[in-house]
Amino acid sequence: MLLRVLLVGLTAAAALAADRKPPSTRTDNVTEVLHGVEVADPYRWLEDGRSAETREWLERQRAYARAVLDALPGRAQLRQRLAELMRTDFVTAPVVRGSRYFYVRRNRDQELGVICVRQGIDGRERVLVDPHPLSPDRTVSVTLSAVSPDGSLVAYGARHGGEDEITVKVVETATERERGDILARARYSSLAFRPDNRGLYYVRFGAEGPRLYYHELGSDPARDPVVFGEGLGRDKTLSASLSPDGRYLLIHVTHGVGGEGRTELYLKDLSRPDAPRAVIQGLRARSTGRMSPETLFVHTNWQAPNGRVLAIPLHKPEQAHWREIIAESQAVIRGFTLAGGKLFVNYLDNVVSRVGIFEPDGRPAGQIAFASLGTISGVSGEWNSGDAFFQFSSYHVPATVYRYHISSGRRDVWWQSQAPVDSERFELRQVWFRSRDGTRVPMFLLHGRGFQPQGDAPTLLTGYGGFNLVSTPGFDPLAVVWVERGGVYAVANLRGGGEFGEAWHRAGMLDKKQNVFDDFIAAAQWLISNRYTQPSRLAITGNSNGGLLVGAALTQRPDLFRAVICGAPLLDMLRYHKFSVARWWVAEYGSAEDPEQFQYLYAYSPYHRVRDGTPYPAVLFVTGDADTRVDPLHARKMTARLQAATSSGRPVLLLYDTYRGHSAGLPLSEQIENLAMRLQFLLWQLGLEAPGGG
DSSP E strands in 350-483: the ranges are: 352-358, 364-368, 375-381, 387-394, 397-405, 411-416, 426-434, 440-448, 459-463
pLDDT band at 62 (very low <50, low <70, confident <90, very high): very high
- What is the maximal distance between C-alpha atoms in the chain? 79
Query: What does the pLDDT average to over 81-106?
Result: 97
Quote the crossing angle between the two packed helices 633-645 and 545-556, to the nearest 10°.
10
Alpha-carbon span 556 to 616, nearest angstrom = 10
Helix (H), strand (E), coil (C) string for 241-302: EECCCCCEEEEEEEECCCCCCCEEEEEEECCCCCCCEEEECCCCCCEEEEECCCEEEEEECC
Distances in Å between the Cα of 177 and the Cα atoms of 129, 154, 181, 199, 534 are 10, 11, 12, 17, 60
**Is residue 5 over pLDDT 90?**
no
Looking at residue 664, what is its pLDDT? Answer: 82
Task: Provide the 3-class DSSP secondary structure of residue 575.
Answer: coil
Q: pTM surpassing 0.75?
A: yes
| Mean pLDDT computed over 386-401 | 98
Q: How many CA atoms lie within 13 A of 203 on its CB side?
A: 21
Q: What's the rounded mean pLDDT across residues 591-597? A: 98
* 474-491 pLDDT, tens digit each: 999 999 999 999 999 999
pLDDT-derived band at 693 (thresholds 50, 70, 90) equals very low
Give the CA distances from residue 38 to residues 31, 147, 598, 606, in Å, rounded to whole numbers and listed in that order.
7, 54, 12, 17
How big is the chain, counted in residues?
Answer: 694
The mean pLDDT of 7-28, rounded to a whole number, is: 66
Q: How confident is residue 662, by pLDDT bands cut at 50, 70 and 90?
A: confident
Catalytic sites, residue numbers: 544, 662
Query: What share of the chain has pLDDT > 70, as a percent?
Result: 96
Q: Quick one: pLDDT at residue 688?
A: 72
Partnered with residue 590 across adjacent β-strands are none
Query: Is it the case that residue 536 has pLDDT exceeding 60?
Result: yes
Range 501-511 average pLDDT: 97
Type of residue numbered 145 = S
Give residue 1's pLDDT band: very low, low, confident or very high (50, 70, 90).
Answer: very low
Q: What is the pLDDT of residue 689?
A: 56
Q: Is 285 a residue whose pLDDT tops 60?
A: yes
DSSP string for residues in 113-181: -EEEEEESTTSPEEEEE--GGG-TTS-EEEEEEEE-TTSSEEEEEEEETT-S-EEEEEEETTT-PEEEE
Residue 145: predicted pLDDT: 98
Angle between helices 477-484 and 668-686 (to 10 degrees): 40
pLDDT for residue 694: 36
pLDDT for res 692: 36
Query: Which tens digit of pLDDT belongs to each residue from 301-314?
Result: 999 999 999 999 99
Which whole-number Å values give the CA distances from 69 to 183, 670, 684, in the listed order?
41, 16, 9
User: Contact, 458 vs 660, CB < 8 A?
Assistant: no
Mean pLDDT of 98-122: 96
The pLDDT value given to residue 259: 67
Residues 6+ apart with CB under 8 A from 294: 313, 314, 315
Region 564-576: what's the mean pLDDT? 98
**Mean pLDDT (the chain, rounded):** 94
Look at residue 659 in the predicted model and tell me its pLDDT.
83
- Distance (Å, whole) CA 48 – CA 144: 34
Could you give the 3-state DSSP secondary structure of residue 647?
Answer: coil
Instruction: Answer yes or no: is pLDDT of 80 > 90.
Output: yes
Within 13 A of 212's CA, how many CA atoms are on the CB side? 23
The pLDDT-based confidence of 19 (bands split at 50, 70, 90) is: low
Half-sphere exposure of 21 (CA within 13 A, CB side): 5
Q: What percent of the chain has pLDDT over 90?
A: 93
- Angle, alpha carbons 615-676-67 (nearest 5°): 60
User: Residue 432, Cα to own-chain centre: how many angstroms?
Assistant: 24
Of 146-160, 421-435, 654-668, where does mean pLDDT reach its minimum? 654-668
